[in-house]
Chain A
Amino acid sequence: MMFGKTMANARLRGVLPVAGAIAVAVLLPIGWGYSTYALDLATVALIYAMFTVSWDLFCGATGELSFGHTFFVGTAAYATALLESRLGCPPVAAVLSGALVGGLAGTLVGVLTLRHSGAVFTLVTMALQLSFHRTLFLWSNVFGGGEGVFIGTSWVNGAFQRYAVVAILSIASLGVAVLVRETSFGRRLRASGGDVRIGLACGVRVPLVRTAGATLSGLIAGLGGSALAMQSMVANPELASDTTSGLIFLLAMVGGFGSLIGPWLAAVIYLTVVHEGLVSLGSAQPMVAFGLLFLAIWAMPEGVTGVFSRWARRWKWAT
């Protein structure tokens, strides 16, 4: 009886976030009457949700804090743009290849940081992202410098169609992340973030598991990066910048480290409600937005979902 209940809970834990995400994604552009502007905004928000959920897929499980997530996003976006514009690759193939490049970047991060955790991991990811960002300007004949690389033809025609494709991809990313968490691979990934010696003693192949986790994270982030390049028809340095990296990091942390649905929702809500709501502030907008994130992370280091689950526990205790 107990066992059955736990199984049902586990299944519910997997199904609930995905169902909620579908509802949010469908309802998102309604407020603006499904206008092109609303659809584009919702598309970008759902792509950012792919970034945060892929960040949380690896970092949430292993307990690391990556500050270089745009290394995956940027390499994938530029690969897509270069393949499409310079080599005449079909747009959809360019997006898929971009995602693969993001996955390879993930493998590289996994291999380079095999023996490192904590702040060292954070700084290595930051160093990789910065190397790439700098390369964009130094080799401006290839990467187009500050302007970036422009894309000729989009992968999906029509704002609604693009929104629909991205919504499916974004929800699927969340689904994959939730699924991974519930499988034995996810448990081994979590173990690799704990005491490495105990993990190895229990038969977890820590290096392999970590690299695989980083690759999967890079793959999803890369898919999002390619989709974002296609959405704005350009791969520019902003996609690979440390500010974007920091934004992904902060949204995932504020949403709730390791909760998957928290970071997904945080990205969607931030870009549609907070970011849009502050547009009237003009040039003060980024300052106020980052100030709010700074205060949020100071007030709730465990994130919104962490606060909720603490309240839920207390309530359960009281009744």
Chain B
Amino acid sequence: MELIVLALLRAGDYVLIAVGFALVFGSLRILNLMHGSFVMLGAYGAHFFIAALARGHAEGTPPSITASGVLLAALATSLMGWAFFKALQVTGRTGPREVLGIAVAGNLFIAQILQYLYGTEGLNVTPILRGSRMLWGVSVSANDLLIPPTALAAVLGLWLWLGFTRSGRALRAVADDSQAAKLAGISADRALAGAVGIAALLAGLAGGLTAPNQTLSPGMWVHPLLVSFAVVVFGGRGSTWGAVGSAAFLGIAEVVTSWYWSEAASQYVALLVIVAGLVIAPKGLAGGTLHDVR
């Protein structure tokens, strides 16, 4: 039972992280290497905003303050992601190699800024909900219980947005055929920058919600990026549901590995999925192709 609960929580976390990455990948056909930094910014942002908002309170920060801190951090991350991509568009740096180079430089620069501001020592973030609750007879931290519903809401929201709103349909049109979309009067640039903003919002939310479970460090952008990439490799190329399925699978696989083997071994699961996935099935298990991806 404990295994199932842990797997569920991990899967929710990974869905939240990876679904935005898959969205950007599906629409822009680029692997957004800044995605891990968005998660990191969400976590550090949560620390910053909670500390700023809680200044007036002497003892114990109420959930309303921590929750708004996490939300503000996610919004700020989203704004940063949108502004970053907009700046790339304005300066005409949208070629595949240019984006890749600037993103790698950006990751390292952000990591160094955070290291300068907060040091390499681990930082702790106050959880939104304190204490632990029982879920099917298993004691789980209350804050973690927020993750699966948030992930579910994010996926549903994304699905509804892509399917039923004007801007969501515009993004799908751009993803299908940007030339035709432009002829139909859709601003491709605006749609794509919007997609990056939404991906950054979800990544920031994931960072803020999972921040209490870990100590923050400037190198923490790497793991979410690898998780997102493994998810895309494993099957979520193009479809939101594919990404959800493979993110859940990856989370479960990691928990099972650490349960039956060791915590150390579970750290290799995402890496193994990436390398094995690309070597054995370069076209992806769920079809789709990385051929035209740069």
A283 touches B282 (CB 8 A): no
Q: Is A301 part of the contact surface with B, judged by Cβ < 8 Å?
A: yes
Give the CA-CA distance A118 to B31 in the complex, in Å: 9
- Mask: chain A, 126-170; 1 = CB below 8 Å from B; 0 = not: 111011001000100000000000000000000000000000000
Give the CA-CA distance A124 to B226 in the complex, in Å: 10
Give the CA-CA distance A298 to B115 in the complex, in Å: 22
B96 touches A124 (CB 8 A): no
A286 touches B226 (CB 8 A): no
A127 touches B112 (CB 8 A): no
Chain B residues, Cβ within 8 Å of A120: 31, 278, 290, 293
Nearest CB of chain B from residue A285's CB, rounded to whole Å: 9
A138 touches B267 (CB 8 A): yes
Q: Is B242 part of the contact surface with A, judged by Cβ < 8 Å?
A: no
Chain B residues, Cβ within 8 Å of A312: none
Chain A residues, Cβ within 8 Å of B115: 286-287
Contact residues of A: prevailing secondary structure: helix
Give the CA-CA distance A50 to B93 in the complex, in Å: 29
Q: Is B131 part of the contact surface with A, judged by Cβ < 8 Å?
A: no
B219 touches A298 (CB 8 A): no
Nearest CB of chain B from residue A85's CB, rounded to whole Å: 24
B106 touches A294 (CB 8 A): yes
Q: Is B268 part of the contact surface with A, judged by Cβ < 8 Å?
A: yes
B229 touches A116 (CB 8 A): no
B282 touches A119 (CB 8 A): no
Chain A residues, Cβ within 8 Å of B102: 294, 297-298, 301
| B side interface size, CB within 8 A | 39
Chain A residues, Cβ within 8 Å of B4: none
- Mask: chain A, 277-302; 1 = CB below 8 Å from B; 0 = not: 00000011011011101100110010
Interface 9-residue window, one of A38-46, A177-185, A218-226, A245-253: A245-253
Chain B residues, Cβ within 8 Å of A119: 30-31, 33, 96, 100, 293-294
- Mask: chain B, 211-236; 1 = CB below 8 Å from A; 0 = not: 00000000100100010010000000
B30 touches A128 (CB 8 A): no
Chain A residues, Cβ within 8 Å of B282: 115-116
CB-CB under 8 A for A250 and B278, given A127-B271, A286-B115:
no
Q: Is B275 part of the contact surface with A, judged by Cβ < 8 Å?
A: yes
A290 touches B101 (CB 8 A): no
Give the CA-CA distance A63 to B97 in the complex, in Å: 9
Give the CA-CA distance A117 to B293 in the complex, in Å: 8
Q: Is A51 part of the contact surface with B, judged by Cβ < 8 Å?
A: no
B293 touches A123 (CB 8 A): no
Q: Is A56 part of the contact surface with B, judged by Cβ < 8 Å?
A: no
Chain B residues, Cβ within 8 Å of A293: 105, 108-109
Nearest CB of chain B from residue A235's CB, rounded to whole Å: 20
Q: Is A112 part of the contact surface with B, judged by Cβ < 8 Å?
A: yes
* Residue from B91, B100, B226, B268 having most chain A Cβ neighbours under 10 A: B100
A124 touches B100 (CB 8 A): no
Checking A127, A247, A250, A289 against B226 with a beta-carbon cut-off of 8 angstroms, the contacting residue is A127
* A interface, CB within 8 angstroms of B: 63, 65, 67, 112-113, 115-120, 122-124, 126-128, 130-131, 134, 138, 242-243, 246-247, 249-250, 253, 257, 283-284, 286-287, 289-291, 293-294, 297-298, 301
Instruction: A246-B108, A250-B108, A301-B102 are known; give 12 further A-B pairs, CB within 8 A.
Output: A112-B278, A115-B282, A116-B278, A123-B226, A124-B274, A134-B268, A242-B222, A293-B108, A297-B105, A298-B102, A301-B93, A301-B95
